[in-house]
Structure 1
C-alpha cells in the first residue's frame, strides 16, 4: 500500500433535471473539474433525496429526470478548494459536501 494521504472528499449533489446553460448541472461540474486537470471522479445515481425546500426528488418509472445525482471527488485540500471556487464562480446551482478524509491506493504498482 502507498502511504496514507490526507485530503477532502467533495460531493456535488443535484437532481438530474437541473440545468446550467442547457446542460445537466453535474456535467457542468465535471467540466470544471476537467479544466483543473482532475480525472478521477465517481458519479452515483441515487434513488431518492429531499432538497432544501423539502421537495422529494426521485426516479420514477415514467420520469427519470428528477433522480438525484452525486459527483464525488477525493482530492488534495488545495485542489478541492480550487474546484469548489471554480464551480461557485461559474454560477452553477448545486449543493456541495466537503469533509476530511484519509486515502491510499491499494495493490497494483507502487507509484
Structure 2
C-alpha cells in the first residue's frame, strides 16, 4: 500500500451562495479541477444549520437554501495552493481541515 499525508478539507455552503456568476460549490469544484487535484466529492444535504442558527433545508418548491458540502483529500502543497487562491479571489466559505493519511489499497498495475 502506498500512502501520503495530507488533509481532508470539507467546505460547507448553501445552494444559493455565489462567487461571481457561479454557485460557490460549482466554483470550488471547477477550481479543484483547474488546480489538477485528483478528485472532489460534492454532497447535497436535506437539512442543516450554520452559526446563525437558521435552519437551511431543501424544500419541494425551492431548493436554493439547500446545504451543500464539498470534500477534497489533498496534499499539503495542494492545500496551501487552494487556500492561497481562495484568499486571492476573496472567497468566504466555512471549512473543516483535518490531517489524514491517504492512499490506495491493493496492487497497482
Q: Same fold (TM over 0.5)?
A: yes
Q: 1:39, 1:7 → 2: CA distance?
A: 13
Aligned to 2:23: 24
Q: Match of 1:17, SS?
A: coil
CA RMSD after TM alignment = 1.5
Matched, 1:87 2:86: yes
Bigger shift: 23-32 or 9-18? Answer: 23-32
Superposition misfits of 4+ residues, deviation over 6 angstroms: none
Q: 2:77, 2:105 → 1: CA distance?
A: 23
**Alpha-carbon deviation of 1:87?**
1.7
Q: How many residues align?
A: 109
Aligned to 2:108: 110
- Structure 1 gap segments, 5+ residues each: none
Decide which structure has greater strand share.
2
**TM-score, length-normalised on structure 1?**
0.88
- Structure 2 gap segments, 5+ residues each: none
CA deviation map 1:24-82 (0-9, x unaligned): 01111122222211241111111111112121111111111111111110011111121
Matched, 1:9 2:14: no
Aligned to 1:61: 60
**Alpha-carbon deviation of 1:88?**
2.4
Q: 1:74, 1:80 → 2: CA distance?
A: 9
Q: 2:59, 2:52 → 1: CA distance?
A: 20
**TM-score, length-normalised on structure 2?**
0.89
